[in-house]
A and B are shown apart, each in its own frame.
Chain A
C-alpha cells in the first residue's frame, strides 16, 4: 500500500503540497512514483514562471510511461529541486523528502481549500 503522509495536502493528480506560510512545496506522491516506476528524466518548470492551479508545468519520464507535472496551486515558481533533475531516481526513493520538485509562491491562499486532505487522498487511491 502506498504511503500517504500527514501534514501535507494532496491533489487528484497525485501531487502533494506542503504549505509553508505563503510558499507551497510540491512533489508527487508515493502512489504516483510507484505507478510510474523507474523515473529517468524530470523536466522542471523555469524559475519565475507563473502558473494557474492545474497547469502542466513539467514532465516526468519513467522507463515505460510519461506524465505531466501539474501545479497544485496558482502562483510563481520560486525554486526547483536541481537534485532530481540530475538524479531522477530520488523521486522514486524519497517522494515526500529529497524527491520534492518545486516551490511556488502562493497567489491566492483560498485555493488551498480545494486541495485534498490525507484522508481524502487515501480514499481516492484505495478506489483504484
Chain B
C-alpha cells in the first residue's frame, strides 16, 4: 500500500521534518528534535498535524441512541457541543478503539485512532441499528492540534469570540477569518490547547494563519515523537500499546468511561461478568528509580516472580527519567509498590498514582 499524505505534508517537508510512515501515512516524527519540541509544548505552544486521525460521522434521529450502543461512556449525557472520551468494545469487552465523541447540532462526530479508522468504520457499519446514517469523512478533513500554555493567545487572534468561553471538552462550529472550522478545546498533551478540523482544501491557508498568529509566541511544528512523550507523561493510553482487543477498559484504568448503569451497549454483559469476578491485572504507571529506560514488551518482576509486562516505555523529558506503563497482576499493582523491569540491567521502578507529569496547563 502506498502511504498517504496529509494535506499538511508539504508544510512538513518545507519545515525539514523527518518523515516516517505511521498508520499508512507519511508523518513527521520530528523537526528540531523530540526534547526541544516537547519543551516547546510544555512551555509555550506547538502545532501537530493530526490529520491522520479518523473521523466517522453519525447522522439521523437515533444517532445518540446508536452511539450509546456502540460506546461505553454515556453519550446521552452529552450537552450540545460537548465532547466525551470513550471506548468502543467487542462483545468480549476487548477494546475496538478509544475515541472522542463530539455532540454536534446535526450529527455526532467520532474521532478515532489513525491505524484503526477502517476497522472502526467497518465495525460501526456492521453493528448499525436504529435510524442512522454513517459516513467515514476521514479523507475530507484536515486536523491540527495547537497545544501549550500560550495556545489560547495564539488562537484568540484568529477568532471573533472570547475563547475563554470555550471550556475544556467543548466545541463550536465557527469560522476562522472566513474559513469554516470545527474548533474544540481538546488535546493529548496535558497542556491547554485546541483542535481544529477543517476541509482539507483550506489546509495550507489555515497552517499559515496559525503560524503567523503564533510567531510572537515562538510557535513551532511538533512531530509524532514529542506527541508520544507528551501523552505519555500524562499517562494517556495509546491504542496498540497500552490497550487493544486483548485488554478490557476496567483493567486498563478506563473504568471512568464505562457506565454500566446505562442502557444496552456492546460488551456490557462481559464487563458485568468481569466486574463480578474481579479484574486479574491492572495497567499501572511505573517510574524508574534507577538508571535506564523501561521499553515495550520487557518483563516486570516482583522479587523473582514474573508479575507483568511493559506496554510502553520512554524517557520523560519533563521529568528527566524513564517512565513506563504496564499490566501487573492485581496483588502487585498497589501504588508505591517497588518492582523490577527486566532490561539488560534490571531497572528498579515504583508504581505511581496519577499522571507522571503533574504541572500541565490544561483545565
Q: Which residues of B contact A37 (CB under 8 A)?
A: 18, 29-30, 33-34, 225
Q: Is there a chain B Cβ closer than 8 Å to A63's Cβ?
A: yes
Q: Which of B18, B291, B317 touches A63 (beta carbons < 8 Å)? A: B317
A residues bordering B, Cβ < 8 Å? 37-38, 40-41, 43, 59, 61-64, 66, 89, 92
* B29: min CB distance to chain A, Å: 8
Question: Which residue on chain B has the smallest CB distance to residue A68?
Answer: B344
Q: Which of A40, A43, A59, A92 touches B315 (beta carbons < 8 Å)? A: A40
Question: Which residue on chain B has the smallest CB distance to residue A62?
Answer: B315
Q: Which of A41, A43, A63 touches B35 (beta carbons < 8 Å)? A: A63
**A–B Cβ pairs within 8 angstroms, 12 of them:** A37-B29, A37-B225, A40-B320, A43-B291, A63-B34, A63-B35, A63-B229, A63-B314, A63-B315, A64-B225, A64-B228, A66-B295
* A86: min CB distance to chain B, Å: 13
| Residues 278-289 of chain B, each 1 if its beta carbon lies under 8 Å from chain A, else 0 | 000000000000
Q: A37-B34, A62-B315 are in contact. List 11 more A-B contacts (CB 8 A).
A: A38-B33, A38-B34, A38-B315, A41-B291, A41-B293, A61-B315, A63-B34, A63-B315, A66-B293, A66-B295, A89-B35
Q: Which residues of A contact B314 (CB under 8 A)?
A: 63-64
Q: Using C-beta atoms within 8 Å of the partner chain, give the interface range for chain B.
A: 10 to 19
- Roughly how many angstroms separate A43 CA and B225 CA in the complex, as a whole number? 23
* B329: min CB distance to chain A, Å: 26
* A81: min CB distance to chain B, Å: 17
- Roughly how many angstroms separate A111 CA and B229 CA in the complex, as a whole number? 42
Q: Is there a chain A Cβ closer than 8 Å to B292's Cβ?
A: yes
- Roughly how many angstroms separate A37 CA and B224 CA in the complex, as a whole number? 13
Decide if the interface of chain B is mainly helix, strand, loop or mixed. mixed
* Residues 188-230 of B at the A interface (beta carbon under 8 Å): 225, 228-229
- Roughly how many angstroms separate A41 CA and B290 CA in the complex, as a whole number? 12
- Roughly how many angstroms separate A38 CA and B320 CA in the complex, as a whole number? 12
* A112: min CB distance to chain B, Å: 29
- Roughly how many angstroms separate A62 CA and B35 CA in the complex, as a whole number? 10
Q: Which residues of A contact B33 (CB under 8 A)?
A: 37-38, 92
- Roughly how many angstroms separate A40 CA and B314 CA in the complex, as a whole number? 10
* Residues 317-358 of B at the A interface (beta carbon under 8 Å): 317, 320, 344
Question: Which residue on chain B has the smallest CB distance to residue A43?
Answer: B291
* B316: min CB distance to chain A, Å: 9
* Residues 15-43 of B at the A interface (beta carbon under 8 Å): 18, 29-30, 33-35
Q: Which residues of B contact A64 (CB under 8 A)?
A: 34, 225, 228, 314
- Roughly how many angstroms separate A113 CA and B79 CA in the complex, as a whole number? 73
Question: Which residue on chain B has the smallest CB distance to residue A89?
Answer: B35
* A44: min CB distance to chain B, Å: 12
Question: Which residue on chain B has the smallest CB distance to residue A64?
Answer: B225
- Roughly how many angstroms separate A40 CA and B18 CA in the complex, as a whole number? 19
Q: Which residues of B contact A41 (CB under 8 A)?
A: 291-293, 315
Question: Which residue on chain A has the smallest CB distance to residue B344?
Answer: A59
Q: Which residues of B contact A66 (CB under 8 A)?
A: 293, 295
Q: Which residues of A contact B291 (CB under 8 A)?
A: 41, 43
Q: Which residues of A contact B225 (CB under 8 A)?
A: 37-38, 63-64
Q: Which residues of A contact B292 (CB under 8 A)?
A: 41, 61
* B285: min CB distance to chain A, Å: 18
* B323: min CB distance to chain A, Å: 11
* B17: min CB distance to chain A, Å: 12
- Roughly how many angstroms separate A66 CA and B313 CA in the complex, as a whole number? 11
- Roughly how many angstroms separate A64 CA and B295 CA in the complex, as a whole number? 9
